[in-house]
Structure 1
Amino acid sequence: MDKINLLIVATIITSFISLLLIIFLLTVKTKDKTSNILFAIFLFLNAVDSIEPLFGLMSDRPTNLGIFRTTLAFFQIPVFYLYVLSVSYSDFKFKSKYLLHAIPFLIVNAVLVPRFYAVDAAGKMDFIVNRTSRIELQFIHILIHIQIIAYFAAIFMLLKKAKKLYVENNAGTHINSYNWLFQFTTLLSIVYVIAILKNIFKFSEYPDISEWIKVGIQVLQPFIICWYLFKALNNPDLFRNIDSKLKLVKDIVSEEKTNVSTAVNDEVYSEELLKLQQYMSEEKPFLNPSLTIQDVSKGIKIPVRDLSLLINHKLDQHFYDFVNTYRIENAMNILKDDSKSKVTILEILYEVGFNSKSSFNSAFKKHTGNTPTSYRKQL
């Protein structure tokens, strides 16, 4: 199979799978469709961008529609950024300021008006034939490369902050959602870096390399989409969002201004710590797999801000690890109990507040240095 045929086959497969996933995202029952709609738009934009080989079969001459289709690529990463924002924060809503993300797209199309959109067919052909010397196209390629780098940097910073906010305020096993989204973003960023290389070769002395890279990207895309589809189907409730109004503990500490002496502060924290430890031991709130710092705050009548400082700053533990310590200690007691020797590891992890075997094993090994099975055998 030659390069052209392989590219067309890969394009058809990618477009078909993208369409199926778009339909799934728009029809699946979920509490908040915003994230699904944003990802569906992202897939649609990618599909529109990737159908270039099919578009070329329909018309062998450059057209306004064809170049406009190409410029839609400037919406891809901004939409993905908004998607990540929407799955990270539960209070995400569309705001007028998000329209600013369309500025690069508008600039690019404005730049193309004089020597492409506004000229006749012959002028368009001349523009494309001499594309390597057209400053407009060079500007567009530089701009999209800057956009890709800037947005992916922003997305990784967003995920880092969201994950930290989660572990400081939640003790559920949905932390895996952020790990998965980080993996997906990393994979996607690699694809876009490869696309940047493709564009660099396109304007070099080796345009054939650019064409082969394009084929590689087209072949890779269906696998990435299928991976996402597999995850989505097996984890319909993939994300547990956090409130964007929450602040990182380091920010709270830096903002704190108090007139109370350190000795008094330490005394207050000691009293609150005893109150917290007693509540955790007697009431066992950690058995709730979706426990949040807000739940504990209500239980012991300590403001969330103070409780967050106590656990995350004074104890130097994330709320996530703090709660898991109690869960693991409870699990260890069950494993030591001879009368419960026939209770399976799976039953134990559910009993102590976990709902994921991988999360339980990771937390247990972090706390004891052994897996639950190895720990039981050593007793």
Structure 2
Amino acid sequence: MDKINLLLIVTIISLFISLFLAFFLLTVKTKHKTSNSLFAFFLIITAIDFSTPLVELITNGPSTLGMLRNTSAFLQIPAFYLYVLSVCYSDFRLKPKYILHLLPFLLVNIILLPRFYLVDAAAKLNFIVHRQSMIEIPTFHILFHIQILVYFVAVFMLLKRAKKLYLENYAGTNINSYNWLFQFTVVLCILYSITLFKNIFKFSEYSDLFEWMKIGIIAFQLFIACWYLFKALNHPGLFRNIDSNLKLVSDIILEEKNNSALAANEKEYNEELIKLKQFMAEEKPFLNPSLTIQDVSAAIKVPVRDVSLLINHKLEQHFYDFVNTYRIEHAMAILNDPSKSKVTILEILYEVGFNSKSSFNTAFKKHTGNTPTSYRKLL
């Protein structure tokens, strides 16, 4: 089987899987409709982009639709950025201002208007034949490289902030969502880096290498789509989000006019801290796997802002770690109880407020230096 046939086979399989997943995301009943629609759009645009080998079999020469298919690549990363934004924040809504993400796509097509879109078929063919000498094509590639860089930096910054907000305000195990989104973004970043690197060989003497890299990239895209589908189906609770109105503690502190304002409240903070610790010890709210800082604030009648400063600033702990400390202490008490020696580790982790074995093991080892199993053996 030559590389042309292999490329066509891989392209057809990838198209089918990507479009099937997009159809599934658009039709499945879920409250996360916006996120699903954005990722479905990303998959469809990506599928259109890598369908080139198939399209070349059924088209004769350059066309307006063909060029639009090529420039649609400028819609991929903006769609992915908006998808990540929608997953990170529960109050995400599509707003008119997001139309700005269309600017690179529109700009490229406006640049192509005079010498491609508004000319006849012969002129279009001449444009493609002499594309290396056309200023539009280098502009196209430069803008695409800049867009890729800017958007991936923006996505990584978004994930960093969202994860920190989660740690400061939530104590559930959905932190795995941000870890997975980070991994997914890294993999996509690698894919786009390879795609950009591939173009170096397009007009070189290594054209065969260029063709083989195209096959590898399409296969990689197939892997990414299947990976996403596997995660979504096996971990339906993974894609949950937070309130975008929450502020980082570092931002709250910056809002204070000076440090003396914080110092003036030292006595009040100490009283609230005693109240907080008493509530945690007596009421055991940490047994709730979905506990949030808002829940604690409402229970002890202390503003969320003050509770956040108490834990994340005064105690120098994320709310996530603060709550997990109580959970681990409770788990240790169960493990130390001879009458509960037959209670399994899995039963214990659910009892103390965890709903993930990996999260429980990580938190337990961070607190004690041992895994739960090893700790029990040492008793």
Counterpart of 1:140? Answer: 140
| 2:131 is aligned with 1:156 | no
In 2, the alpha carbon distance for the partners of 1:9 and 1:69 equals 20
Mean CA deviation greater in 224-233 or 110-119: 110-119
Which amino acid letter does the alignment assign opposite residue 67 of structure 2?
A: I
Mean CA deviation greater in 317-326 or 192-201: 192-201
In 2, the alpha carbon distance for the partners of 1:167 and 1:62 equals 52
Q: What are the superposed Cα offsets for residues 1-43 of structure 1, whole Å, 9 maximum, x if unpaired?
A: 2111111111100011012211221122211300000000000
Q: What are the superposed Cα offsets for residues 40-97 of structure 1, whole Å, 9 maximum, x if unpaired?
A: 0000000111111110000131111111111111000001000000000011011111
In 1, the alpha carbon distance for the partners of 2:342 and 2:49 equals 57
TM-score normalized with structure 2 length? 0.97
In 2, the alpha carbon distance for the partners of 1:68 and 1:355 equals 47
Which amino acid letter does the alignment assign opposite residue 13 of structure 2?
A: I
In 1, the alpha carbon distance for the partners of 2:257 and 2:120 equals 67
| 2:71 is aligned with 1:71 | yes
In 1, the alpha carbon distance for the partners of 2:203 and 2:88 equals 38
Native 8 Å contact 1:141 1:199 kept in 2: no
Counterpart of 1:90? Answer: 90
Q: What are the superposed Cα offsets for residues 107-153 of structure 1, whole Å, 9 maximum, x if unpaired?
A: 11111111111222221111111111111011001100110010000
State the Cα distance separating 1:260 from its structure 2 match: 6.3
Counterpart of 1:372? Answer: 372
- Cα RMSD (Å): 1.3
State the Cα distance separating 1:266 from its structure 2 match: 2.0
1:40/1:323 CA distance change after superposition, 3 Å: same
- SS of the equivalent of 1:182 reads helix
TM-score normalized with structure 1 length? 0.97
In 1, the alpha carbon distance for the partners of 2:209 and 2:115 equals 28
- SS of the equivalent of 1:353 reads coil
In 2, the alpha carbon distance for the partners of 1:2 and 1:134 equals 33
Mean CA deviation greater in 48-57 or 26-35: 26-35
Native 8 Å contact 1:115 1:124 kept in 2: yes
- SS of the equivalent of 1:370 reads coil
Unaligned runs of 5+ in 2: none
State the Cα distance separating 1:203 from its structure 2 match: 4.5
Counterpart of 1:337? Answer: 337
How many pairs are equivalent? 379
Counterpart of 1:25? Answer: 25
- SS of the equivalent of 1:305 reads helix
Native 8 Å contact 1:249 1:313 kept in 2: yes
Q: What are the superposed Cα offsets for residues 271-306 of structure 1, whole Å, 9 maximum, x if unpaired?
A: 111101000000000000000000000010110001
State the Cα distance separating 1:208 from its structure 2 match: 3.5
1:327/1:103 CA distance change after superposition, 3 Å: same
Counterpart of 1:257? Answer: 257
State the Cα distance separating 1:239 from its structure 2 match: 2.1
Which amino acid letter does the alignment assign opposite residue 250 of structure 2?
A: K
In 2, the alpha carbon distance for the partners of 1:266 and 1:39 equals 47
In 2, the alpha carbon distance for the partners of 1:352 and 1:262 equals 34
Unaligned runs of 5+ in 1: none
Counterpart of 1:56? Answer: 56
In 2, the alpha carbon distance for the partners of 1:67 and 1:252 equals 49
Counterpart of 2:318? Answer: 318
